[in-house]
Structure formats: structure tokens, C-alpha cells
């Protein structure tokens, strides 16, 4: 296939390009390259989508597959206007953040969506779900029956720059002080390995698969994920404190992601956020490796990048030590 990846320098888009080259496809990556270079073996067309249609001046010919991972509806609109006529198949990597309700476990692709961001409005981190919803809508309108909409959940595995899934195995592997773990043993976690997601996107493109699918991992209990993180790191299970959720909130710990957060911990009303069904994608060829394998590969990657590096998500050591002291002092 002749494949155009709009991106190709970061996490998922880079993995798609890497696997496509390995499979013998003719791959072009359109990217600025400000943070990283695309994988070896691709044709790299440097460009900044912020420049509008003029940015695509060096992109020519027909494409068997175009992959877009954009989160900005304005940029996505321009790409569709310029490239859709030359594309035989179009994959847009969306997100399960497009859903309006995250409270129902097992919800499928028919669940209600957020209102799309108005036409012409630039996306922001605060309007991520609305932006992806808008791009889904314009993709379906722009390429119609050629569109494959991939609603990804949390993506993990080697190279993850969000620092969420890797926080826990890395934290245990650091083997310093006591670890603060939220007391949520039965809460769901749901991560798809970036390598599995990229492989399914490419396989679907080759098969001409169209439609909208949740591209998610299987559900794993938080307690099982924590225990496996400890096992992979060789950490002692006793070196943990487990404050209740109300106590954590009271003491300023954030949910899910960001500085001084506890990754994968979600607020009330999000029981379905990491527990949506992946059945439709499974039935159409999405293969998932064992989640323990993803965790082990993530920990290996964390060690290579440095267990003590600054992180985008998780508790700082100082905050964690303060919380441990407070918790233990209150339990006496």
C-alpha cells in the first residue's frame, strides 16, 4: 500500500509508520519534526499544518491509506479538503473521550456523543472530546464510505509520553520509600498496547474496513494491575499505604493524570470510562497481547528512560512522603 501518515513522529503515529515500513509498504510521513524524526525507511515531507492548505503543497499522488490522528478540527478540515479526493481509505484515530456519558460499564459505539466543537473553532485541551467529535463528523461527511473511525481508549506500551500506565510499575521499581495507592481494588483499568492498535489500523486499512469502533484493551481490575506492577518490579507488597478516596481528595491529590495525581484513578460517575466494550473491534480482527506483556514492556521502557526522571503524571516524591506521614499519623 501507499500510505500517508499525518504525523509519524510521536507514539501511535510513529508506531503505525514503523510497522508499515516493516511490512513493506510505501510510507510517507507529513510532520514538522520539532520533537522527533519519523522512523527510518519513510519518506519525510516536512510541513506545519498550522499553515493551512499551502502546507500540503509537496504531497501529491493517490493514496491507498491516509491516517490522521489530529485533535484540532481546523487542521483536520484542511487535510480532508485537500487529501480526501486522492484517498482510497481514510483512518481517523479518535478517542472514547467523544462519549457524553462515562458512567455505564459495557457501553458500545452507539452511546451518545458530546456536541461537536463548532465549525472553524480551534481545539484546546479543555475541548478535547468535543474536538474529536467534530473531526469524526467532518471525516464521515468528507470521505463517507471510505472512513474508518478508531475510538481509542488509553494507549500504553513502550514510548508512552503521557506517563500514566507506566507510573505504577516504574514507581514500584524505583524501590524508594512507601508507595501511596488508592483504595480502589475493584475499579476497572483498560489499556490497549500501542503496538496492537497500530497493527489493527494497518490490517484494517489493507482489508478496507470502514465504520466506527472502540479500539480498547480488555478490562483489568486495578488491584490486579497493581499486583502485577509489584511483581514485575520485584517490589514488596507490604511497602504500600492505601488511603480512601475521600482522604486523597481532601489532601489535594488529583485524579487520572497530571502533576501530583494518581494515574488511572477516576472520580465518581466514571465507572464506564475504562470499561467500554471492545467486542465489535475484536470481531473485526483486533488482536490483543496479554496485558501482562504490555506492562513488562512498559517497565523496560521506563527503566531505559530513567525511573527518577520528571514525569507528566503521578506524585512527586516530596508529595508522596508528605501524604504517607499524614496518613500514618492519622491512623495511630
Task: Domain ranges for the chain, please list them.
Answer: 2-152, 167-189+220-270+289-331
Q: What's the rounded mean pLDDT across residues 132-148?
A: 96
- Beta strand 188-193 with 219-221: parallel, antiparallel or unpaired? antiparallel
Distance CA 294, CA 58 (A): 38
Cβ of 265: how many Cβ atoms within 10 Å?
Answer: 21
Residues 23-60 pLDDT 10s: 999 999 999 988 889 999 999 999 999 999 999 999 99
pLDDT of 238 reads 63
Q: What's the rounded mean pLDDT across residues 280-302?
A: 97
The residue length of the chain stands at: 332
Fold designation for 2-152 = Rossmann fold (3.40.50)
Regarding pTM above 0.85, the answer is: yes
* Residue 180 bridge partners (DSSP): 241
Distance CA 208, CA 193 (A): 22
Using DSSP's 3-state secondary structure scheme, residue 118 falls into: coil
Residues 121-130 pLDDT 10s: 999 999 999 9
pLDDT of 33 reads 86
Distance CA 93, CA 160 (A): 16
pLDDT of 25 reads 98
Distance CA 297, CA 156 (A): 10
Using DSSP's 3-state secondary structure scheme, residue 6 falls into: strand
Q: How far is CA 103 from CA 24, 153, 293, in A?
A: 43, 15, 29
pLDDT at 237 over 80: no
Please check whether residue 233 is in contact with residue 225, taking contact to mean a CB–CB distance below 8 angstroms: no
pLDDT at 216 over 60: yes
Residues 54-113 pLDDT 10s: 999 999 999 999 999 999 999 999 999 999 999 999 999 999 999 999 999 999 999 999
Amino acid at each position: 500500500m501507499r500510505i500517508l501518515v499525518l504525523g509519524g513522529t510521536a507514539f501511535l503515529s510513529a508506531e503505525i509508520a514503523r510497522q508499515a515500513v516493516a511490512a513493506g509498504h510505501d510510507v510517507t510521513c507529513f510532520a514538522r519534526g520539532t520533537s522527533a524524526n519519523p522512523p527510518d525507511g519513510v519518506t519525510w515531507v516536512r510541513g506545519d499544518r498550522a499553515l493551512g492548505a499551502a502546507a500540503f503543497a509537496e504531497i501529491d499522488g493517490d493514496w491507498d491509506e491516509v491516517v490522521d490522528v489530529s485533535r484540532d478540527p481546523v487542521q483536520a478540515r484542511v487535510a480532508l479538503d485537500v487529501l480526501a479526493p486522492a484517498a482510497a481509505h481514510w483512518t481517523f484515530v479518535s478517542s472514547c473521550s467523544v462519549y457524553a456519558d462515562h458512567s455505564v460499564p459495557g457501553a458500545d459505539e452507539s452511546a451518545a456523543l458530546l456536541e461537536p466543537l463548532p465549525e472553524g473553532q480551534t481545539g484546546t485541551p479543555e475541548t478535547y472530546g468535543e474536538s474529536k467529535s467534530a473531526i469524526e463528523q467532518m471525516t464521515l461527511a468528507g470521505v463517507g464510505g471510505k472512513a474508518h473511525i478508531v475510538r481509542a481508549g488509553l494507549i500504553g506500551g513502550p514510548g508512552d509520553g503521557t506517563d500514566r500506565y507506566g507510573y505504577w510499575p516504574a514507581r514500584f521499581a524505583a524501590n524508594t520509600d512507601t508507595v501511596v495507592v488508592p483504595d480502589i481494588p475493584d475499579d476497572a483499568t483498560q489499556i490497549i498496547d500501542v503496538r496492537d492498535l497500530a497493527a489493527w489500523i494497518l490490517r484494517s486499512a489493507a482489508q478496507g474496513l470502514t465504520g466506527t469502533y472502540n479500539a480498547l484493551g480488555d478490562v483489568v481490575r486495578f488491584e490486579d494491575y497493581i499486583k502485577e506492577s509489584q511483581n514485575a518490579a520485584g517490589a514488596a507488597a507490604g511497602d504500600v499505604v492505601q488511603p480512601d478516596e475521600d482522604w486523597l481528595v481532601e489532601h489535594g491529590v488529583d485524579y487520572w493524570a497530571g502533576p501530583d495525581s494518581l494515574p488511572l484513578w477516576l472520580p465518581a460517575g466514571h465507572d464506564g470510562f475504562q470499561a467500554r466494550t471492545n467486542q465489535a473491534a475484536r470481531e473485526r480482527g483486533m488482536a490483543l497481547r496479554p496485558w501482562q506483556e504490555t506492562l513488562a514492556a512498559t517497565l523496560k521502557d521506563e527503566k531505559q528512560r530513567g525511573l527518577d526522571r520528571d514525569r507528566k503524571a503521578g506524585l512527586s516524591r516530596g508529595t508522596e512522603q508528605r501524604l504517607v506521614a499524614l496518613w500514618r499519623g492519622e491512623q495511630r
